Structure 1
Amino acid sequence: MERVVEKVVPLLQGSARIWVFGRKGRGQARVESIEGAVFMRHPGGKGRYLPWISRRLSALGPDVIQVENRPRIASYLKKKHPRIPVWLSLHSVTFLSRPNITPSELRRHLIRTDRIIVNSEFLKQYLLSRYPILADRLVVNHLGVDWVEDGSRWAPEGEIRRQLQLQSLGIQGRKVILYAGRLIPIKGVHHLFPVMQSLIETEPDALLVVVGSAFYGSHRTTPYVRRLHQAGKKMPNHVLFVPYVPYNEMRRWFELADAAVVPSERNEAFGLVNVEAMAAGVPVVAAKAGGITEIVEDGVTGYLVRPEAIQAELLLSLLQLLGNKELRERMGKDGMLRAGARFRWIHTAERLAAMYRELPRKM
């Protein structure tokens, strides 16, 4: 959610004047201007955050209030500011289901909004199947990726850069399978270890690189993460764990990979990591679930595997990719083309700007 704000807001300059309200984190200023937008942050305190936002909105009198991913907050602000359009921008199903909210409560909050922006057709259909009354206010706006026009991972200079990185890590000559994301059960990371045990029988140079941690921006561990490390220790020469890496450093890790894996156990609303891998020229093997099917084109930019047969199909797909460099290059290049044509942050911003232009201007 924070990444969407970070990437889209600067691209909206000239289309809208934007104020961003949020909670104050450690080391952050209470008020600052970033890329032309004003960021105002509240230090916290139970029961004070939402009234504080409401008072600021009363003073500003905006043309639209856009709430990110929190139905209850959107409902609260619409009640406080009934004359101002309130839009809800949804990024996942996390706050649309139990234990976070009951179906009846969710319906009550959603019908108070004036527009609901979702990041995939999957998420749109997820809501429509439960609340048909929302049909006239649902709109899809796919997310994006930072796009690098030159320096392709498949260009000569890209391959030189990649080989230097592999050498610096001491893994030159290895066939790299990359997982990037949070280390939590619903991401299905645990499926990768039995797959690797079978894979290395045919591909002894294969190396699974797991980039991420259980929490954003933190190296804190959990029982689940410790179980993953225990599984990795059974294949010490074939598994490498890399703790949390900042977003702006992730491209160089994607460029190392011969294949990226996304073994999610639960429907993901979008699956941004798939786009990030494709933009870096890496074929993706991902679960056929949720919004992922709108990103990865099966057999063209990678492979989609059935969740009910995820380990067997992951193994077969990875064997195909690792055994055929020409296939990896073709799928990688096709992925780059697809990401560049359909999934860039400028596309996300342009669609949102068009929605803003539909709003009646206040005197």
Structure 2
Amino acid sequence: MNVLIICTEKLPVPNIRGGAIQTYIGGVAQKISAHHRLTILGRSDPELLPDEVVNGIRYVRVPSDGIFDKYAEGVVQFLNQRTEHYDLIHIFNRPRLVLPVRNTSPQSRIVLSMHNDMFNPAKIHPDEAQAVITTLERIVTISNFIGNEILRYYPQAQPKLRTIYSGVDLDRFAPWMESQTALHERQVLRAQHQLESKKVILFVGRLSRNKGPHVLVRAMSQLKHSDAVLVVVGGAWYSDNRVSDYIAYIRSLAERASLPVVTTGYVEAHDVHRWFCAADVFVCTSIWDEPLARVHYEAMAAGLPFLTTARGGNPEVIINDNGLLITNPDSPLEYAEKLNQLLSNMDHARQMGLRGRRLTEQRFHWDRVAQEILSVWG
């Protein structure tokens, strides 16, 4: 088949600026292109050509400035000007693109992947949403939670839904106990930050209140382990190191914490795996209903035990004692209690982490994701 994948307007593909959706597309693209002719349509970027072929995959990029309407206009213009027919068009996370794409491509099959709650009536008019669901052949969701949110508004979508969990690069994210490369990364980074003898607790993500890292910083004052250090990796947005009011607040809390808190600022997507190598425990602190943060897969692949919150799809990756669930994400005390539990028995914690690694090898690798996408396409 001749297939077109349409990414979102926020970040480019490949994921030179980061982004979960961009990482997902990048993870499966080469594997899918072995079976089908593939074009990927995404937003423009100063570091990327507007139209190029890389390893047999065509990348077309249109202006967006991060604005949906501008991007949608570029998508429609591209489809109107094309000289070839796409048998299947796979749109990512933008149900509002479906009808404009259908109008330009009446004979194409259309599949939609959902990574967020974009069918919420606050984000798409119910009449349009119902027309979109009717138009689509299948709706792939990143978690059961996202599928259930769609059903909450539109039960008629049930026969078209399928959950396909994301994946991770098993070579890049590897346990330091089992990989000489990961061990070297760990030793270098820990030496650079004077963390050689520390128990490193890691947070990775955008620094915003709904992501919850402020609760974790507050929890540090209640830890019983004087050798514990919290490392907070991330910025206000992808490729953005500006100090927002919230980041200033985090840094103020960090300065007053009784144990060290390191804030790294934004770390490039190709370097972030090094911090997973350097850590001992990973924590996802989401206060909002997270669809299912991909950092869980990265932590598991790196052999890290993790804490995550009972929000959205996050609990779906707690399997076979590979992590612990935080039932109240607003409670520093609950984080402290569970971190004390892990840090008090590091051998047990590492066994939890290695169970997570085995899970990624069995279930959460890109080969499996690509095969499931191919099965949806038929």
TM over 0.5: yes
Alignment of 1:52 onto 2:77: yes
Q: Which position in structure 1 is the counterpart of 2:226?
A: 204
Name the structure where helix makes up a greater proportion of residues.
Answer: 1
Q: CA deviation at 1:103?
A: 4.3
Q: CA deviation at 1:159?
A: 4.5
SS at match of 2:135: coil
Q: 1:6 aligns with which of 3, 23, 26?
A: 26
Q: Which position in structure 2 is the counterpart of 1:116?
A: 139
Alignment of 1:143 onto 2:166: yes
Which amino acid in 1 is paired with 2:344?
G
Alignment of 1:317 onto 2:338: yes
8 Å contact from structure 2 (residues 172, 273) kept in 1:
no
Measure, in 2, the Cα distance between the counterparts of 1:83 and 1:160.
Answer: 53
Aligned pairs for 1:24-103 (under 5 A) are 24-44=44-64, 46=70, 48-56=73-81, 59-93=83-117, 95-97=118-120, 99-103=122-126
Measure, in 2, the Cα distance between the counterparts of 1:97 and 1:226.
Answer: 32
Q: CA deviation at 1:100?
A: 3.2
Measure, in 1, the Cα distance between the counterparts of 2:328 and 2:128.
Answer: 30
From the superposition, tell whether residues 121 and 63 of structure 1 become closer, same or farther in structure 2 (CA, over 3 Å). same
Q: 1:246 aligns with which of 251, 268, 293?
A: 268
Alignment of 1:350 onto 2:375: no
Which amino acid in 2 is paired with 1:49?
G
Which amino acid in 2 is paired with 1:92?
N
Q: CA deviation at 1:338?
A: 0.9
Measure, in 2, the Cα distance between the counterparts of 1:339 and 1:307.
Answer: 27
8 Å contact from structure 2 (residues 173, 298) kept in 1:
no
8 Å contact from structure 1 (residues 75, 110) kept in 2:
no
Q: Which position in structure 1 is the counterpart of 2:322?
A: 301
Measure, in 2, the Cα distance between the counterparts of 1:271 and 1:100.
Answer: 21
8 Å contact from structure 1 (residues 274, 296) kept in 2:
no
Q: CA deviation at 1:247?
A: 2.0
Q: CA deviation at 1:297?
A: 2.5
- 1:61-90 deviations in Å (ceiling 9; x for gaps): 111011111111112111332221111111
Aligned pairs for 1:188-227 (under 5 A) are 188-199=212-223, 202-227=224-249
8 Å contact from structure 2 (residues 212, 329) kept in 1:
no
Q: Which position in structure 2 is the counterpart of 1:361?
A: none
8 Å contact from structure 1 (residues 289, 307) kept in 2:
no
8 Å contact from structure 1 (residues 301, 331) kept in 2:
yes
Q: CA deviation at 1:270?
A: 1.8
SS at match of 2:271: helix
Count of equivalent residues: 352
Alignment of 1:335 onto 2:367: no
Measure, in 2, the Cα distance between the counterparts of 1:217 and 1:193.
Answer: 23
Which amino acid in 2 is paired with 1:109?
V
Q: CA deviation at 1:195?
A: 0.5
Q: TM-score with structure 1 length normalisation? A: 0.90
From the superposition, tell whether residues 137 and 255 of structure 1 become closer, same or farther in structure 2 (CA, over 3 Å). same
8 Å contact from structure 1 (residues 284, 296) kept in 2:
no
Q: 2:191 aligns with which of 167, 171, 175?
A: 167
From the superposition, tell whether residues 246 and 160 of structure 1 become closer, same or farther in structure 2 (CA, over 3 Å). closer
Measure, in 2, the Cα distance between the counterparts of 1:141 and 1:210.
Answer: 29
Query: Percent of aligned positions with the same letter in both sequences?
Result: 27
Measure, in 1, the Cα distance between the counterparts of 2:302 and 2:283.
Answer: 14
From the superposition, tell whether residues 252 and 141 of structure 1 become closer, same or farther in structure 2 (CA, over 3 Å). same
Structure 2: gaps spanning 5 or more residues = 1-20
Q: CA deviation at 1:323?
A: 1.0
Query: Larger deviation: 301-310 or 338-347?
Result: 301-310
Aligned pairs for 1:276-287 (under 5 A) are 276-287=298-309
Measure, in 2, the Cα distance between the counterparts of 1:35 and 1:335.
Answer: 32
Q: Which position in structure 2 is the counterpart of 1:326?
A: 347
Q: TM-score with structure 2 length normalisation? A: 0.87
8 Å contact from structure 2 (residues 221, 258) kept in 1:
no
- Supply the RMSD in Å over aligned alpha carbons: 2.2
8 Å contact from structure 2 (residues 230, 261) kept in 1:
yes
- 1:133-180 deviations in Å (ceiling 9; x for gaps): 111111111110001399632238454652343122212111110000
Measure, in 1, the Cα distance between the counterparts of 2:233 and 2:163.
Answer: 30
From the superposition, tell whether residues 306 and 236 of structure 1 become closer, same or farther in structure 2 (CA, over 3 Å). closer
- 1:206-256 deviations in Å (ceiling 9; x for gaps): 111000001111212211111111111113851000111122222220111
Q: CA deviation at 1:48?
A: 3.8
From the superposition, tell whether residues 107 and 233 of structure 1 become closer, same or farther in structure 2 (CA, over 3 Å). farther
SS at match of 1:171: coil
8 Å contact from structure 1 (residues 263, 310) kept in 2:
no
Measure, in 1, the Cα distance between the counterparts of 2:141 and 2:179.
Answer: 39
SS at match of 1:307: coil
Structure 1: gaps spanning 5 or more residues = 359-363
8 Å contact from structure 2 (residues 174, 302) kept in 1:
no
Q: CA deviation at 1:113?
A: 1.8
Query: Larger deviation: 26-35 or 174-183?
Result: 26-35
Measure, in 2, the Cα distance between the counterparts of 1:32 and 1:3.
Answer: 19
